[in-house]
Chain A
Amino acid sequence: MTTSPIETLTQQYGNLVPTGRLIDGKPRSILFDATKCIGCRHCVQACKDWNDHDRTSLYELSSTNWITMEPPVLEGLSPLWARNSCMHCNFAACAAVCPVEAITKYEEGPVVINKDVCIGCEYCIHACPWEVITKNDITGKASKCTMCSDRISEDKQPFCVQACPVSALDFGFSEEISDKAKKQAEAIGGYIYGEKEAGGGNVVYVLKEVKEKYGVRNIGAEKFPKHKIPLGLMLKDLFTPRCGIAGKLRALYLAIIHPKRLIYRYFS
C-alpha cells in the first residue's frame, strides 16, 4: 500500500494545508497529452460551460476563465499546445499561505478555494508557483480551477476531460494515470511533466519537445517552493480595512491555533 501524498505532506511539514475528503479518498489525476492536443480549446470552453462563466476571453486566465491553451493564437494555428491551469499540487503553497484556511487539498486530488471563506488577501495569487490564481474583479475573491470537485464528488470526470474530442485529456485514479503517462512518454520518446515539479500534483503532462517550446514553466522539485508575498500587501492587510474585520479576526484566531502555518506564511 502506497502512502498517500497527503500523509507524506503531514509527516514532513506538519499540517500546513487544510485537507478534506470528497468521496472515497482515492487520489485521481488529470493527464494532458500534448502530443494529441490540437488546440481546439474545447476544454477551455467546457470549463466555462460547466461553471456558468461568461464567455470571456479564452486567451488569459481570469476569474471566468480557469484554463488557457498556449500560445494565445486562434484555435489550430500552432503546431504545439500546452495546458495552463491549476496543477492541483500535493504541497499546495496557495493553501499553506491562506490566512483564513479558505483553500483545501482534497484527498481525491482537487485543491479548491472556498469563495465564501476567501477574504481576497491575494496571498495565494503570489504564492502559486504556476501563477494560475486570479482575482474576481467584482467579488474580490480568489478564483481558479477546481478540478471539477463537484463532479468528482459524484464520481464523474472533470468537464474539460469529457469535452476533449481527441482524448488529449484523460482522467482516472492517479496510479493508473501515472502508468498511462509513463507508457505514452516512452512510446513517443517524450517525458512527463508535473509529477515532480513543486513536489508533484494531480495534473501531469506528457510532452515531447523541450519545455521552452511549449512555454511551460521551469519549476524545481522542491515541495512548497519559495514564495514571496509583497511586504506592502501584508502591511495593507494588517493595517487597513482591507479583507474586513471578520477576516482579520479569523486570520488571527487561526494564527494562534496553527502557529506553524504562520511561520511558513511569513518567514519561510
Chain B
Amino acid sequence: MMATANSDYANFFPKNRQTRLPGGYMGKILRIDMTTGKLTDLNLPEESLLRKYWGGQLFAEYVLLNELPLDIDPYDPANVIVGMTGPITGTGFTPGGTKMCFVYLSPATRHTLGRGATSGYFGTSLKAAGYDGIIVTGAAQSPKYLYVGEDKVELRDASRVWGKGIRDTEEMLRKESGHQDARIGCIGPAGEHLIRAAMLVNDYNHTAAHGLGAVMGSKKLKAFVAWGTKRPRVHDKNRLIDAGARWAKAISSRKTTVKKRLTSVGHGEDWGAITKLNWRSTIITDEAKGLDQNRVTLRPCFQCPRMCPWDVEIGEGRFKGKVGHFNAGSEWMDTFYNLGFKGNDVLYLSERINDLGIECSHFACGAGLAFEAWEKGVLGPDHTDGLKLEWGNLEAVETLLERCARRETWLGNILADGPKELAEELGGEAKNWVVHTKGGTPAQHEWRPLLSQMLRELVASGGMKPQGAGGAEPPADLRYREKWGPLDPNQPDGWTSSHCWFALNEKPPDGVQSMVDSLNATTGWDVSLDETIDVGHRAIILQSVFGTQRGWIAEHDWQDVGPRFLEPIPDGKYKGFTIAKWLPGLIYEYYRISGRHERTGRPYMDTLTRLGLEEFKEWSQLD
C-alpha cells in the first residue's frame, strides 16, 4: 500500500511540461531502479508545484511520501532514496548555494523520516550533468555505482572499490571517470555492512548522515559520481549578484578563520560545554592542546565565503604528519572527547571514523555507553574480545571503530545497531546511561544547556541532525510577525529551503531577506517572507506525517529518549539545568502552535488546508 491514496502524484512529473521552467532548475530528475538497472529521465513538475514544494528537503519529502510503501523495513529493496538540490544550488552567485538533501525511511529509527543533507560540490556537479535530483529504488545483486555525466548516465560495476574506505573510493572513482573534476559521494565499509547510522561522504569534507549510507549499502550502491559542464540558467543575474553580495555581507561576521581551528575545541566553545566521558562532564579543560601546532587549510564549499570545511595536517604528537578532512561542525571532536581523548588524537580518530563512514554521534553514544559499562563493571572482557574499554585507550577505540564498521564481534555488531540496542542488551541500570532520540542520536554536542536546541533535537526525526532553533530574539527581518518566539513552529528546519543553514545569519537586518531575494532573482518568482515560512512549515508537517504513517506519536519525543539526555547537567556552569523540568509541556506547546495535536502530533485539517496539503488528510487529527 502506498502512503497517499488521494494524491495527484501520477501527474507530478509531466511527460511534457506546460509551464515555464523557473531559473535555477535544470529540468530533470533521474530515476534509478537498482533491481533492473533501468534509468529514466523525469521532467520536473509544473512551475506552480515547484514553487509550492521549492527547495531540497520539502520537494524530496513530497516525492518520498508518494513513492514509499508503508510497513517496510529500511533495508527492504522497496525503500526509496530521494535526493534533491534546490534552485539556488550551483548558481555560483550566493553563499550556501551548495546543498543537496536526501530523504528515505531512516534505518536509525526504523519508523521516521531519514534525512541526510550535504554540501560541498556534489550538488553543483549533479546540476552540471543536467539533473536537479535523483530517485533510487530497488536493490542490485552486486556492488554498483552510479555515473551521472552529461556524456552518459549508467550503473557501473563497483566491485573494485567495494570494501574500500571513503578516501580511496573517491580517488579511484574520480580516476576511473576520466574527469579530474568529477565529484563523488560514496559510502565506506560502514555503509556496506549496514551500520544503522552509516554516512554518505562527498568531496572529502562533507557528510550526509542519518543512515543514508546504510540504505545505499542495502541497495549495493557504493557511490554517485557526477560530472558535467552545464550551469543553471538564472532569471536575473545582476539582481542575483546583488542579493548574493548582501547575503555574503550578512554572514561575513561568521566566517571561519584558521585561528579558530587552531585553538578551539569546536562548536561547544560558543556556549562553554562539551561532551565528555559519556555525557558525564561538560567542562572544557585542555582538550585543544597541540592543535596550534597543526597546519590548517580552510576548504570552502562551492563559492561560499563562510568557509566552514577545513583540512588539517597534524603538527605534533604521535600522529604528526597525518592529514584529516572535516566539515563545518565539530561533532567528531565531541565524539572523541566523549571517549576520553584530547588534542590531536581527536583529529586523528575523526579522520578514521570519516573514512570508515560511521556517523560520529552514533559511535560516540554507543561506545560511550560501553566504556561507562566497563568502568562500572557491567561489561567485562568476555564481551570485548580482548579490548580494554578504558577512557582514552586509543588502541581500543581504533579497533572498535573497525569492528563496528564491519559488524565484527559481539560488541562491534551491537554498536553498529546503535546505543539504544546496546542499552537494552546490557539491561538494568545501564539503560539509564544511554543517550539517544527515538533510536537515533543527536548531533554530538552538549546541547543540554540550550533549551531551544534541545527542543529541536527532541522533536526532530530521531538522529536526523536537525537544524534551526536559536536565541530568544526573532530574526531581524521577521520582527513584523506578531507570533514569534523560540517555539515558533517554523524555526526548526524552516530555512532549509535549498541553501546551507551554516550560511544563514538571521540576526542582522537583511540576513533573511537577502536569501529570499536571491531565490527570487534566480527563479523569477516574487516569494515573500511569509510564503517562505509557509514552505518551511510544509516541510515540517510532511516530516511528521511521514512519522505518523509509521506509528510515531508526539509522546515518543520525550519518552523514546535515552535518559542521560534528559538528566540535569552534571557539572560546569550549567550544573543542574535540564529541559526535563518543562517536559512534556514544552513539546505540547510546540505541536499546538505548529497546528498539530499535542499528543498525537497529527496536523489538524485546517493546518493541511492552509498549506495546501489536503491530500494527506487521511493522516490528520480529526477531532
A residues adjacent to B (C-beta < 8 A):
38-40, 42, 45-46, 48-49, 52, 54-59, 64, 72, 74-77, 79, 162-163, 165-166
The digit string for B290-304, where 1 denotes a CB below 8 A from any CB of A, is 000001011110111
Q: Which residues of B contact A56 (CB under 8 A)?
A: 229
Q: Are A163 and B303 in contact (CB under 8 A)?
A: yes
- Distance from B238 Cβ to chain A, minimum over Cβ atoms (Å): 11
Q: Knowing A57-B181, A74-B204, say if A45 contacts B303 (CB, 8 Å).
A: yes
Q: Are B295 and A54 in contact (CB under 8 A)?
A: no
- Distance from A166 Cβ to chain B, minimum over Cβ atoms (Å): 7
Q: Are B255 and A40 in contact (CB under 8 A)?
A: no
- For the A-B complex, the count of residue pairs with Cβ-Cβ distances under 8 Å equals 63
Q: Which residues of B contact A77 (CB under 8 A)?
A: 311
Q: Are B230 and A165 in contact (CB under 8 A)?
A: no
- Distance from A44 Cβ to chain B, minimum over Cβ atoms (Å): 10
- Distance from B500 Cβ to chain A, minimum over Cβ atoms (Å): 14
Smallest Cβ-Cβ distance to A59: which chain B residue: B180
* Cross-chain pairs A/B with CB under 8 angstroms, 25 sampled: A38-B297, A38-B300, A40-B300, A45-B303, A48-B92, A48-B231, A49-B91, A49-B92, A49-B231, A55-B128, A55-B229, A55-B230, A55-B231, A57-B179, A57-B180, A64-B229, A74-B204, A76-B204, A76-B297, A79-B297, A163-B303, A165-B255, A165-B304, A165-B305, A166-B307
Q: Are B230 and A40 in contact (CB under 8 A)?
A: no
Smallest Cβ-Cβ distance to B95: which chain A residue: A165
A-side interface mostly: loop
Question: CA–CA, A45 to B307, complex, Å?
Answer: 16
Smallest Cβ-Cβ distance to B179: which chain A residue: A57
Q: Are A54 and B231 in contact (CB under 8 A)?
A: yes
B residues adjacent to A (C-beta < 8 A):
91-93, 124, 128, 179-181, 204, 228-231, 245, 255, 295, 297-300, 302-305, 307, 311
Q: Are A76 and B181 in contact (CB under 8 A)?
A: no
The 9 closest A-B pairs by CB, nearest first: A76-B299, A165-B305, A49-B92, A54-B229, A55-B128, A55-B229, A56-B229, A40-B300, A76-B297
- Distance from B324 Cβ to chain A, minimum over Cβ atoms (Å): 12
Question: CA–CA, A163 to B245, complex, Å?
Answer: 9
Question: CA–CA, A56 to B151, complex, Å?
Answer: 13
Smallest Cβ-Cβ distance to A49: which chain B residue: B92
Q: Are B230 and A42 in contact (CB under 8 A)?
A: no
Q: Knowing A49-B93, A55-B231, say if A42 contacts B181 (CB, 8 Å).
A: no
Question: CA–CA, A143 to B213, complex, Å?
Answer: 44
Smallest Cβ-Cβ distance to A164: which chain B residue: B305
- Distance from A171 Cβ to chain B, minimum over Cβ atoms (Å): 15
A49-B93, A55-B228 known; 7 new pairs, CB 8 Å cut-off, are A39-B297, A55-B230, A64-B229, A76-B204, A79-B297, A165-B304, A166-B307
Smallest Cβ-Cβ distance to A162: which chain B residue: B245
- Distance from A39 Cβ to chain B, minimum over Cβ atoms (Å): 8
Smallest Cβ-Cβ distance to A73: which chain B residue: B180
Smallest Cβ-Cβ distance to B299: which chain A residue: A76
Q: Which residues of A contact B302 (CB under 8 A)?
A: 45
Smallest Cβ-Cβ distance to A56: which chain B residue: B229
Q: Knowing A49-B92, A57-B181, A74-B204, say if A42 contacts B231 (CB, 8 Å).
A: no
- Distance from A148 Cβ to chain B, minimum over Cβ atoms (Å): 12
Q: Knowing A57-B180, A76-B311, say if A45 contacts B92 (CB, 8 Å).
A: yes
Q: Which residues of B contact A38 (CB under 8 A)?
A: 297-300
Smallest Cβ-Cβ distance to A39: which chain B residue: B297
Q: Which residues of B contact A55 (CB under 8 A)?
A: 124, 128, 228-231
